[in-house]
Structure formats: C-alpha cells, structure tokens
Chain A
Amino acid sequence: MKLKDLIAPFSVWKRATEKPYTAMKPLSERPGADRYRGFHINDQEKCIGCGSCEAICQNGAIDMVEVAGVETTLTDSGLRPRIDYGRCCWCALCVDICTTDSLAMSNEYVWIDEDPEVFRFIAGAEGKPWDNSEKGYRRSGGYSLLDPERVPMILEDPKKGVTSFIEMVKGYSADAARQEARRCVDCGLCIASCPAHMDIPDYIRAIRDDDLEEAVKILYRTNPMPATCGRICTRNCESACAIGVKGDPVAIRWLKRYIIDAVDPSDITAALGKEFSDSGKTVAVIGAGPGGLSCAYYLARMGHHVTVFESSKKAGGMIRYGVPEYRMPYDRLDDEIAHITEQGVTITYGVTIGVDKSLDELAASFDAVFISTGLPDASSLRLTGEDLPGVLSGVEFLERVARGETITLGRTVAVIGGGNVAIDAARTARRFGAETTIYYRRREEDMPADWEEIHDAKLEGVEIITQSIPIQLEKAARGKTGLVWGRARMEDQGPGKRPRPVLIVGETYTAEVDTVISAIGQTADLSYIAESKTASVGIDGNKVLADYHGRTENVKIFAGGDVVNSIGDAIAAIADGYRAARSIDAYVLTGKGKT
C-alpha cells in the first residue's frame, strides 16, 4: 500500500466548497423537454376517429368511444380515442400513425391519484390542464409511418389515345395493386360514403393477402358490376379516406378494378357459386341500366324469376350509352352483363314501356315491378338558339357515338357544362379531331366532374374556360354557330356554401364554333307512369317518389336509380337496385309491403 492510496481520496474535498448538484427548488416544477413524451393531447376538430391509434397500440391502451358534441358524419366516425394510463407506455406510436396529425403529446408528466379507476381519459376532450400545451412530442418531419403517395397509375399516352377509343387507364399490375393496398389503414371510414356500402377495407385486405377469390366474393356481396365501378365510379369513398387527409387517398376505385380484371370471368362464377332456391315468383324490371341490372341480379340470386325490359338493343343503360368506350370498354361491360344473365335474368330488348307495353300490363302479369328508367334525356339550356342545327346535347352525342353512328362535328367544338358528361363529350369530340373547349360557370375546383378526368382531358388538349356563362346561341357565318358568353365573378355565399357565379356586365365574348354540345344535366320522361291506371306511383317533376328501400306508394311497384335518387351516379343506382331487391323479396314472399 502506498501513502498516496491513503491521501488521494481526500483530495476531492476540494469540491466541498463548490455549488451542490441538488436543485433546491421543488423539482416537480421542472417542465419536460420540448420533445418530451408526456400526456396525450388530441385536436378534436382535426381527429376523424379512424382508430389507427387503437390498431397500433401494442398495449391495448386505446378505446374508441363516443364523445359528446362530436357528430358522426361521412368523413368522421364520431369516435375519439380514450387512453388508459393503466396500459400506456408513452411510446407515441399512436402519434406517429395518426392519419390526421391530430394526436400529439404534451410535455406534462405529473398525474397522481389515489383511485386507480381514474386513469382513463379522452385526450383533448376532458379539459385537462395540458390540452393546449405547445411543447411535447410531435411526429418529426423526416419520419413517418404512412405512405402519403399513391402508386402512380399507368395511362395511355394522351397523344396516342386521342386518336382512338382504346382504354386510357391501364389498370394496376399485381405488384402495384398490392403496394397500393398496403397504404390502407383498415379504418373503414370509407364504407359509409359508398352508396352501396361496399366492404372496402376487406377487399383491400384480400388484395394484400393475394386472395382474389375472397375479394370477388366481397365485391359481389354489395355490387354486381364491379368492373364498371372499378372504372367509372364517382368514388365518394376516396374523399372519406383517412389517408387522404394528409396525402393522396387510397386508390380504392383502381383496386376494385384490379380485382375484377385480374380474375377470369369464369372464375367469378366459380367463386360465387350458383346454387339458389326457386321461389316461383316473377319480377319485372324496367330499364337495364345499373339500377335495373343490380336489382335483377340480386333478385335472381334470391331465387326469383326476373325479366328486364330494355328499350335499346343492348343492356347497360347510361354506362353503355353515356360513358365513352375509352373509359368503359364495351367488352368488359358485356362480360359483366353476361354474368348477370347467367344467374337466370332474362333481358327483353327493344321493348319500351309506355309504347310497346303499358305499366299496367306489367303490374298485372308480374308479382312485382321495379322501375329504373333513369334520366335518358338532356336538360334544356333554356337559351335562344338552342334549336340551331349545330347544337346538340351531350347525352345524345355520346349515345350516337356509342351506337356507332357517324357524326360530323367540324373542326371546333364548344362544350357547355362541368360534369362528367361534359368532360366525356369533350374528350370524345377530341377523338373526332375537333379542337374542343369547355365552358363552365364556376371555378375548376367547383367542377362536379372527377378531378382525374379533368386532368386527363387537359392532357389530351381540351381547353377549359372557367367562370364563363353562356348567354345565347346564334347563327354565324360559314355554317358556324356563335356561342355568346359572359365572364363571371364568384360571389361568396357565406360559410359552408358554394360561391355563386355572377355575370360581369359588359364582359361578353362570342366564340364561333362548328358544334355546340350542351351537357348541363339530364331529365326523364315519366309519361308512361302518369298514363298508368292501376300501377301509378307518386311523381315529382322528373323523379319517382320512393323511400330508402325503393318502396313507392304502390305496394307492388318499386323504383330506384337516377329516376329516384338525386345523386345520379352508377353506384347509387346499383345500391338502390340492391335495396329494392331486398324489399321486393320481402314483398313477394310475404305479400306485405311497407309497414
């Protein structure tokens, strides 16, 4: 032992005069660091109740519960996370996965109680002292667990596409579809927005698991025309998608299309099976559009004998005659209709109710009748000069193209309107080589047409003039038609309302074009109902009055599709058809109608 070993330890006494380490104030006042993972905060306004936090919590600490003052809407489940601090480990995975970035953590950390039952709270809704904390853990910019970007869709080269009617959207490959399907967080918020309430997360899961047979079964549970909806659906679901809050919504429509394109039509029949009972009941369906076909399909699978009366030569309704072939190839539609007729549905073509057969006759010879005649006629522009020879309606134009008629449009075309029909007409006109311009009253973001359609139309060289109100149509030189239009400004209508276009006095222009196509809406001719003596039902303008279940005031008559609902798209008609099929089934089996 050295002397140093005895002395050296005492040398540290020199520290005795220094400031002690101890913090003299009560330390409970020390705030957590800026990033501290303290107690949860949740912005109740931003939160949409998707439940991803519950799904990722490995501690089972989160419950989704109802909160007073939060309504359930199509984009908000109305549920909010309640966190059990008897489970939480403050790992902040819930914050990382949050689809809206509403969930975060404060830097507060002191919560003491004598009662073990109190440590459960709905973050952000119980007025905790830390609710408005600015500090605490937030997901950092360089780190995320969710993929905000959609797998890009392969499109036909617009320069090439504009010369023919080949399908523009090529569809996902299996890899791309699985990759896109992985973006889904399985929350199911989208289901409510779909009129047919398709089980979207489940079929997306089936894609992920590569189980297409299961996916097909899920599709046909609510929708007998998935190939159609996979292409032309208005996809309200995607606007409710939780991923869409911060990034691109999951491409639900393209995923649906992938399933049905990847499966051979014969495999669909095999997957669904064909065994069903025979009830011996007969049902007439008027109109072979999506609503009629959907109703017929489900009725047939419920065991009833269905006859569809269609005035045209082919089935499909607006999907065939209103949607151009480059969006909805006819052979895919034919496959889909073939699958429906395989279920035992008879379609009688070229029979117009009210002309060849009356509604009364049908009501007398069938156990029930389903009306789904849609809105086949174009609405009037109500402008002078509408009857000029160079003016035609979008519906008429598209229908004639679909029938294969030859149409001379000339070199320049003006399309009036901003809906899907307007875009379809404009892009079809481009395929006839015409320089096409769309005139729309409001701004581009107000256009009811699908944003991807608008985008693709522009790629194909369609020009869009927004905030332009047509004033009148007049005859112009060299057989042209003059479209007189005025510039509009947008007038604010208060919060939550769409701004209204108002004509700016004095700013008028005239466009001289070869053809004017008006596409501002559609209407129906319901005289065959009004003429009926025994089977008449309530009518309001161009709409048939029917309830949610497709039941009209006449116990035997049911109705659905565009002729009933105000949404006016294919999926709404399909949903109407399905619900009406259930009502009809209940009626023909029990003889009881609306209670």
Chain B
Amino acid sequence: MHNKETLPNLGLPEHERDLFCDARPRVSKPLASYIEKFLNWSRANSLWILAYGTGCGAIELRPLFTARFDISRYGMAPRPTPRQASLLMIGGYLSVKTLKRVIRSYEQMQNPKFVIGLGSCTVNGGMYWDSYNTINRLDHYLPVDVYITGCMPRPEAIIAGFEQLKKRIKDGRAEGANQYAEQFDWYKANQKKIITDWNMPDYNW
C-alpha cells in the first residue's frame, strides 16, 4: 500500500491516517550559487527563534529578547509558532516527553531551519548524564548546527553562538534540514527507539 515515497504513519489510529500528510521530507536542491549566496545572507540576518523554552536554557533567552541584550538589533525575534521560526534553541537537557514535542516543532518548521544546542546537556548528557528520563546526545535525534558550552551559557555566549551560526549559514554549511531529510530513516529510528508511544505522524508536516 505504501510505496517508498510515503510514510506508513503507523503510530496513528487507522481512521486518523487519512488526515495527515504521509510524504517524506525532501532534500531541497540549492539554486545557482550566487542566488543561494544571497539567500543565505538574507537567512543569516533574519533568524527567527521558536519561543519554546525546553529546559533551563530558556532562562537566559529571555534577557536576550529584552532591553539589555536586545537581539532585535541582529534581526532576531522570538516567534510563538514553528511555522514562522527558522531557529530552534534547545535549552539544555531534553526529557523524552519534551523531545517528542521538540521533534514535532522542528518538523513543523519551514526549511531552511537551524538548531542550536545550549549547554553541556546537549553534547553528552550534562549533569543529568545518569538520569533515566533525559537524553544524552542531541545529535542522535536532530541535526544540530552549533553547540554553545556552559551551564547555562550566558547571553553573551549565546550571541557569540548566533554569530557562529550566521557564519555557517553564509558559508552554506547549515544544511541541517537537508541532512535530516537525507538521513531521515536513521533519525526516525533513533527517535522511535526511545519514544515508545509514538502517536503522531512519522513526519509532522
């Protein structure tokens, strides 16, 4: 019934399967290099952040949005919905329950999209390395563009992280969305291994 191009969405109840899109994510091919360069320049200068405080890291994001650090001047702004956001900030540790929502939010974001991992927890589990409820390595579940060390990273470090991300975007290396589409099966297998009650579409369009 399902060919290679569609997703089975087995997690959904049968009567709901028709309600959701079952297409696989696709790799978007780059345009001519000068256009792509211009696009990347534009993307780098209007990073809109999904306002989802997934963990402790969120506490240092608020000052960024407000008067003292004011990242609006870099063309960045918090957005309440994934549809409008291009940057997902993972604020440190992710419990399995949150990871499920993060995946959903990430998949709902439009291409191109970028992920920044804040703090130790996204690299190797951080101080919750032995907790049964938090993941250790974010890069197993989502493509991460930039890591910022700290627990938590200060706003200044986060701003420096944004600079690094912009550089990566302008260099054309920030291909997380494409990487996710290319290695979709690997990511999905990793995700499903720990999210045992997968009751959403395989890809949240």
Contacts and interface: CB of A to CB of B under 8 A. Distances in A.
A538 to B, nearest CB: 58
| Residue in A27, A29, A85, A86 whose Cβ sees the most chain B Cβ within 10 Å | A86
B123 A28 contact: no
Interface in B149-205: 149-151, 153-157, 159-161, 163-164, 168, 173
A89 B128 CA distance: 10
B126 A114 contact: no
Interface in B20-73: 67-70, 73
Contacts of B70: 22
Interface residues of B, number: 38
Given A109-B154, A112-B157, A87 B168 contact: no
Contacts of A60: 129-130
A111 B149 contact: yes
Nearest to B67: A21
Interface in B91-137: 117, 120, 122-127, 129-130, 137
Given A28-B156, A28-B160, A22 B146 contact: no
B124 A114 contact: no
A114 B68 contact: no
Nearest to A90: B151
A111 B123 CA distance: 13
Interface in A345-360: none
A88 B123 CA distance: 10
Contacts of B146: 112-114
A85 to B, nearest CB: 5
A119 B157 contact: no
B160 A112 contact: yes
A30 B120 contact: no
Contacts of A111: 148-150, 157
A116 interface: yes
Contacts of B163: 28
B125 A28 contact: no
Interface in A34-88: 58-61, 84-88
Interface residues of A, number: 30
A23 interface: yes
B139 interface: yes
A86 B153 contact: no
| Residue in B139, B153, B156 whose Cβ sees the most chain A Cβ within 10 Å | B156
A114 B123 contact: no
Given A28-B159, A85-B120, A119 B149 contact: yes
Contacts of A32: 154
B154 A116 contact: no
A129 interface: no
A29 B156 CA distance: 8
A58 B151 CA distance: 14
Contacts of B73: 22
B147 A109 contact: no
B154 A86 contact: no
A494 interface: no
Interface string A85-99: 111111000000000
A114 B147 contact: yes
Given A21-B67, A59-B129, A114 B164 contact: yes
Contacts of A88: 120, 126, 151
Interface in A323-337: none
A127 interface: no
Contact of B125 (A20, A21, A29, A86): A86
B126 A112 contact: no
B156 A112 contact: no
B88 interface: no
A30 B158 CA distance: 13
Contacts of B156: 27-30, 109-110
B144 interface: yes
Contacts of A29: 156
A26 interface: yes
Given A114-B145, A119-B149, A86 B160 contact: no
A119 B123 contact: yes
B119 to A, nearest CB: 9
Given A59-B120, A89-B151, A116-B122, 9 more contacts: A27-B159, A88-B126, A109-B154, A111-B149, A113-B146, A114-B168, A114-B173, A116-B124, A119-B149
14 contacts: A21-B68, A22-B70, A23-B68, A27-B159, A28-B156, A84-B124, A85-B120, A87-B123, A88-B126, A114-B146, A115-B147, A116-B122, A116-B137, A119-B149
Query: Which 3 residue pairs of A and B lie closest in terms of their CB atoms, listed nearest first?
Result: A86-B124, A86-B123, A21-B67
